[in-house]
Amino acid sequence: MKNRKTQIKFMLCSFLLLISLLQCNAETECQEDCSKTTDEIPICHADCDGINGCNFYDSITKDACTSPQGRVVNAIESYDKTHKLLCCEGIPYIPRNATIEFPKRAKTIVRITRIVFWRGQFVRLIIDMFR
């Protein structure tokens, strides 16, 4: 009977520990993408670094994505003269330009142009359909 009481006591302690861990995570505003639950638009916050899975690549990344008022999550920012990065948790990369080739005898049937909000900035989206 003593063994059964020990098991129940251990299960109860484990359950209480799990509840306290869940409450600890629920109290913080920081999310995994370094934004806060109170953000209307997800913005990178330097004070979330190291909390709930938010990890900036380095101090340069943290400064680029949070100074002076923060950047939208997934915005593209300059890291240095040759590299760019994806805020908040991106690793610096060298951007590549796309090369576009059209078929020799293609005729444009439809061209759709829209301004869209993509990765934290407005860009022009052009869709061409050919025959």
Q: What is the pLDDT of residue 124?
A: 93
| Section 96-121 average pLDDT | 81
Output 24 or 66, whichever has higher pLDDT. 66
Residue pLDDT, tens place only, 48-85: 999 989 999 999 999 888 887 778 888 888 899 999 99
Domain boundaries along the sequence of the chain: 1-28
| Section 33-60 average pLDDT | 90
Inter-residue contact 124 to 115 (CB < 8 Å): yes
Report how far residue 58's alpha carbon sits from residue 93's, in angstroms, rounded to the nearest whole number.
14
